[in-house]
Structure 1
Amino acid sequence: MSIFLIESDKSELLKPITFKEGNMLEKDIQNIIKSNPSILGEELLIVGEELSPFEDSKKRLDLLALDEFGKLVVIELKRDNDGFHMDLQAIRYASMVRLFSIDKIVEFYGNFHNCNNEQAEKAIDNFLGGDYAQKLDFDNVRIILVNQDFSKDITNTVLWLNEQGLDIKCIKINPYKLNSESIWDIDTIIPVKEAQEYQLKLREKKHSDQETKRNNKDFSKYQFNGGIFGKGRLVLAVVSDYCKNNPNIDIVHLQNKFPKELQSRLETAILYSDLEYDSKLAERYFKDNVITLNNTSKIVVCNQWGVGNIDRFIECATKLGYKIEKQSQMQLAT
């Protein structure tokens, strides 16, 4: 693309330069993008920079962001003319960040923006339009490669990877010099506009499907020991009954009987003292329903149960001899 400076009836062709000729380092490019990520052609929320996916890793990804659908976006920057190996490097980072937890993303955002966890959660929640914990998508990490140019090796590889289901965007930045100022011509070369619109429609459809699933929440009730309970209260009732009938157990025994795998992310039961210095963890347990064991240990039960994990808990409880019956809407109405 040619860029002209028009003054009255005169035109001047601006001369393209390289980032090196403009004395611009990769760090300078990174700072510009993080201050205004929309120059990459979409709304992005920067979560962190120079992140090391694992403590023992010497590699650091340039920028980590969230897109409007809650997907993690790895942004890798170069300032050369071919982008040698940047695709492979970004894929490595993507494979690592998909293992991050929600709490880790909140922590990164807080460190990057110099705010506490509560403020970080609010900012992420506002960006995603509410219900952020449900919208965050760690399974479909996106990649954005940014460089002055890309070799055919890179573009061919990216096109093939996108055909295999990955979501990689290549953005080309051509800098121009105008007196003492720098002008950037920014162009998305992969995917091309038509393909990008198609991918956007697919993402919007998936987002719509996720919203439909969230709106069709399951409010099933369960009968246990003569009472009717929702999912969380059912777990509390079963664990409380188990502790009542086995008063000499300790927390280790209880966690062996009701292992973490039932909930998937949180222990089914923990010591009440574990909540003392973690207000966010306290929200995920029935802190007002403390169970006291014979050894004076105080236990609290997790309240984070839904259609994705309650069946595992019921299966475990059934093996322990408990009878739990799911109530139909007709039974609940009578």
Structure 2
Amino acid sequence: MQSILGIESSCDETGVAIYRPDGGIVAELVYTQADHAAYGGVVPELASRDHVRKLPGMIRELLDQASLSPDELGAVAYTAGPGLAGALLVGASTGVALARALDIPAIAVHHMEGHLLSPLLEANAPAFPFLALLVSGGHTMLVEVAGLGRYRLLGETLDDAAGEAFDKTARLLGLGYPGGPEVARLAEQGDPERFDFPRPMVNRPGLDFSFSGLKTHTRELVERSEKADHADIAAGFERAVVDTLVIKCKRALKQARLKRLVIAGGVSANQRLRQALDRALPGQVFYPRPSLCTDNGAMIAHAGWYRRHEGRRDGLIAVRPRWPLEELPPAPEAAERAAETA
């Protein structure tokens, strides 16, 4: 089977990868933009420029790494949304132009479907159906997954996503960007029991999330505390986020009558979250490897293989900065059977 090139450019990571269904991830490269750290968050114009600057050279390097010529590619998959419009357009125009030049399909991939399917790349892959907790960038959502493209949204964040709350808390504590790893490192030195943090919306029915109040509580603590207290604040904040996610996952599994949980996206790399879920749901939780938790081209190439029958050859470029996951059509039955036997 021919190789698929995946291109990810939805935000501040430029990712490219080669995937083969009979060989897995053949090669991959990820470039994480550093310029945004000075601003405490992603600057869309800077992100787009960096994608333009890095993407062509990364594709050439990737093909060399995989010992492939462009003519050996069977399709090009690119992130079409959701994400930053300008950043998406860089990846989409590059992917469509390359596919048009090679006369192969260009496959528009949903960023969150890429994350959702990334645990299927592992040897211990979950079988359908399962519950997915997607915690990536501005997204925190619980999705019932009956099969490829058969998704039902059960709950989502009403304001800040978990990843955004980590980034804003890092900024409050004077830490770097991205905030998740920085807060986690500082939390290792702290006492999570010293300060009392709320667990947002866990005492209400339903499966939606809200992290803006937790962020406000953290800001008030920081304003009245000394710098020596920051490790304890980081530890308490992290514990509150983890507890909230675990409670909601258990509730969603019971409501949907499912046994398996997939967790994917940047926050899924958090070790305390993984440990807490493993304790609460032993043997029921599936993750991608840490390198596949953050945005990457491998998950796009992988998802593109399942969606390859939807590839276009007309050269049209279209992106969707806002793209509800539930609007995706079911994948062909052949693709679902391939996923179940992978």
- TM-score tier, shorter chain, comes to under 0.3
Task: Tell which structure's C-alpha radius of gyration is larger.
Answer: 1
TM-score (norm 1): 0.24
The structure carrying a bigger strand percent of its residues is 1
Higher helix share: 2
**TM-score, normalisation: structure 2:** 0.24
Q: Which has the higher contact order (CA 8 A, sep 6+)?
A: 2
